[in-house]
Structure formats: structure tokens, C-alpha cells
Amino acid sequence: MTALLVIAAFLLVAVALGLRARRGRDMNLQEWSVGGRGFGTVFVFLLLAGEIYTTFTFLGASGWAYGKGGPAFYILAYASLAYVISYWLLPVVWRFANEHRLVSQSDFFARKFDSPALGALVALVGVVAMVPYLVLQLTGMGLIVSAASYGHLSPHAAVVIGTVALTGYVTVSGIHGSAWTAVLKDVLILGVVVFLGLYLPLHYSGGIGRMFHSVDAARPGFLTLPHQGLSPWWFASTVLLSALGFYLWPHTFSATYSARNPGVFRRNAVFLPLYQLVLLFVFFAGFAALVAVPGLKGADGDLSLLKVTVKSFDPWFVGVVGGAGLLTALVPGSLLLMASATCLAKNVYQLARPAATERTVGRLAKALVPVLAAVALLFTFNGGSAIVNLLLMGYALVTQLFPALLFSLTARRAVTKQGAAAGIVAGVATVAATTLARTTVADLLPFLPQPVKDLNVGIVALLVNTVALLVVSAATRPSAVAAPVPVTGEAG
């Protein structure tokens, strides 16, 4: 009971912060979704860093370290590369968004390609990609609260309570609430994760080095990548895919609009890589769990961090860990809901009803929040995938927007709106076909050499995507004179 009370207290504080954040503001669509474009380095840092410290980090990273070993290290690798890209990518995106007063990711594509229909397509892809991500946050939230209640609360009941809190929180405060809760969350998660990552290996193995030695002795090869399957080829292609897709999540993309100037991103590109080293301690905790609570299989690996916490500490501290975990679901969950709702209201609904005022769109966006939350809840109850697999699927989908984005910024003239749409559809179809049929590159093309078979299917889809984009663009290109003058982005 103690643990649950501590968690409930954290939830109350978060909701109070969210309510407080809206005070004195007229919550129109601009304020609700992009914070009136007034956030400085620190808040953008926290919003974007909040992206890394999600339930995924907390449970998924430790779960994969526990269940898969070496391949889990990809999680530490991809974000740094994404930050390197962000140094050049985000300032250009921000300038264009600022100039045209954009509020969603699909706005960006609609404006760049002069095509509201393309905007609607991007909105739909984004929302579809966000469902697994949201399901991941809700699944994590359920696991955390249920474990912290020592089994008194079923994961289902826990998920429902969490979703209701999340929905109310988002509807009321918008992105301002997320930014303030992100502060609380990051302080808490940093403390908890570093403590667990140092204490658990020390307690169960006598130190980090000793822990790794004993894991290696018990399971030779576990701490490296295997030769087949999750091989170095898988690692490199997955890291690249995730780095390219990192800022293409609709909520991350539009969270960047909240910056007050482009210098914010360039400064953050220096510090964000270091900040995510905290993940290292999550791995330590995951490997320590392997020593302390062995035997969890498959998706149950996601429980490893919680199991070892419950085994090692007093209920009040389990409550603190659970509270930290709850906040890691709340912040990204709220951004996800907000971005999906804004995309649907602004870029799909407004396409059907062009006469709708910004006020109506804003109201509709808020009304869509509970609907989307309910849909995610439904999937959460029917799913059974490990957290990392959900994330990998979302990444594979959302990265399909990358070729169109890149061309729109560098060689806008080379690509038509039909080409961009064809590329996105081809890429998404490839991902969907392989994911739904649960096939891998190896199943489809068994004659290929092993390295190619191990490639992340998202990378293959990206190639299909780019080819479709170029071919259809070439076929639909209007005469050179009639081409609209593109607004070219300027690097840096």
C-alpha cells in the first residue's frame, strides 16, 4: 500500500504542475501545441531529452539487456547520431515552421509540397506510427503500477487509471504541462537510475566489472552481438534507421517548433549525447537483474527492473521507482497524444472542411485526445509484444518520412508531391506487409547473403521508398517553367 500511495502522490504533483502551467494563458492552438514558440534551451532540452527517458528506456532497455544482452547496446548508440543530424536538420525545419506559423509535422509537408492532401497522408502515417509508441507507454505504465502494488492492482486496472490521468492532464495543460512535468521527471529518473545502476551490481555481484565477468562466464557471447540475426549488420542498420527517424516522430518534430530560436538546437546537440549516458546505468541494472532474478522469458523481460527492485528494497522506495516510471510514461505519452490529435484535427479534418476556423480545430484537437487514448488502450489490452519490438515497428514506419523531408530541404525541385506521396506509401506498405506477416528479409529473399538478411526491415523499406519517390517524381514532373519556386532551406 505504501508504494501505491507514493506513486499516487507523484501523479497528483504532476497533474498539479500541469494545471498550474496553464494559469494566465489563453490556451489557443498555438499555445496548447507549440507553447507559443517561446521555449529556451533548457526547456527544449528537457522536452527532447524527455523523449529518451521514456518507459521504453526504463523498462525496455533494462528488459533487452536482461533478455538479449549485447544487442541492447543499440539503444545507447542511435540517439547520439540523431543529435549530430539535429545540428543541421532542426534549425532549417524550425525556420520554415516559424515563418509559416506551423503547428504540426504534417503542416510542414503540406506547406513544403503545396499539397494539403500530402499533409493528410503524413498525418495518418504519423498517427499510425504513434499507436505502437503510445501502447508501449501504456503497457509500461500498467506494469509499473501493478508491480508497485505488489499484485493488488492488475496491470489492466493500472493502465485504465493511468490513461484517464494522462488524458485529463493533456486536455487541460497542453505542452506547458509537459515541459514542467519533464523537469520533475528528469530529476527523479536521473537519481533513481544512477542509484539502481550502481547499487544493484554492487549488491548482487560485488561490482560492475565482476557482474559482467560472471554474466560472460555463465553465458559466453551474451555480451556481444551474435553472428546471425541480431548481428553487427542488424546493429548498424537499426542504429542508422533509428537515428534518421528520431526527429521524424510527429511529437518530436513539432516539439522542436516550441524553441524560441534555432541556436537552441545547436547548443543542445553538444549536450544531449552526454545526457543519455544515463542509459548506461539502466543496462547495469538490467544485467544485475539477470543475476538476481533469472528466468524471465520473452516479454516478461520488461519486468526485470521492477522485479529486482521489489526484491531488493522497502515498499516506500519501490513507490519512488514506480513514481519515476509513471512520469516517464506521462511526459512522452502526453506529447504523443497532443501531436496525434493536432495532426488529425488540423491536417485531416481541415482538409475535409477547409472553412473550419482555428478555434474549431483547436477544440476538435482537444476532443480527439480521449478518443485516441481509448484506441491505444484497446491495443494495449490485445498486445503481447516486448516493449522494444513495439518501438522498432514505430521507428520503421516513421522513418519513411525521411526521404521526402530530406529532398524537400535540399533538392525540392527534384521531387513532386506525387513522388513524395508514392515514396511514403511504398515505404509504409513494405513495413506493414513484413510486420503484419511477421516475415523478415531472410524469409522473403532466402537466397541473399546473411549480412543482407540481417538488415533491419525499415532500411529495406527506406530503399523501396526512395526508389518509388524518384521514379514517380520523374514521371510526374511538370515542365521546368511551371514548377513552383521552392523555398530552399539553408543549412546551419
Partner 1 sequence: MRPARKPSPAARTGRVLLPLLGAVPFGGILGGVFFANRVTPYVLGMPFLLFWVVLWVVLSSAVMAAVYRLDPDNREPGEAEEVGP
Enumerate binding residues for partner 1 (CB under 8 A). Answer: 21, 35, 38-43, 70, 73, 76-77, 80-81, 83-85, 87-88, 95, 99, 175-176, 179-180, 207-210, 212-213, 216, 221, 223-225, 232, 235-236, 239-240, 258, 260-261, 263, 266-267, 269-271, 273-274, 276-277, 280, 283, 490-492
DSSP 258: G
> Toward partner 1, which CB reaches closer, 271 or 316?
271
Least distance in Å: CB of 492 to partner 1?
A: 5
> Toward partner 1, which CB reaches closer, 96 or 349?
96
> Toward partner 1, which CB reaches closer, 360 or 410?
410
Least distance in Å: CB of 416 to partner 1?
A: 23
Cell of 276: 543519455
Nearest CA among 451, 333, 415, 382 for reference residue 109: 415
Least distance in Å: CB of 103 to partner 1?
A: 16
d(CA 83, CA 87): 7
Least distance in Å: CB of 76 to partner 1?
A: 5
- Taking a C-beta distance cutoff of 8 angstroms, is the pair 140, 55 a contact? yes
d(CA 237, CA 232): 8
> Toward partner 1, which CB reaches closer, 166 or 243?
243
Residue type, 79: A
d(CA 488, CA 475): 23
> Toward partner 1, which CB reaches closer, 73 or 113?
73
DSSP 483: S
Least distance in Å: CB of 252 to partner 1?
A: 17
Nearest CA among 165, 158, 161 for reference residue 144: 158
Nearest CA among 347, 255, 294, 263 for reference residue 49: 255
Least distance in Å: CB of 300 to partner 1?
A: 24
> Toward partner 1, which CB reaches closer, 209 or 298?
209
Nearest CA among 338, 410, 20, 17 for reference residue 183: 17
Which helix (H) or strand (E) segment holds residue 452: the answer is helix 450-454
> Toward partner 1, which CB reaches closer, 204 or 349?
204
> Toward partner 1, which CB reaches closer, 61 or 127?
61
d(CA 268, CA 453): 36
Least distance in Å: CB of 227 to partner 1?
A: 9
Least distance in Å: CB of 6 to partner 1?
A: 27
Q: Is the dihedral of CA 9, 137, 285, 78 positive or negative?
A: negative
DSSP 344: I
Nearest CA among 79, 117, 123, 121 for reference residue 105: 123
Least distance in Å: CB of 362 to partner 1?
A: 18
Residue type, 73: F
275 contact partners, CB below 8 Å, separation of at least 6: 45, 49, 52
CA separation (Å) from 338 to 103, 172, 175, 234? 11, 11, 8, 33
> Toward partner 1, which CB reaches closer, 50 or 325?
50
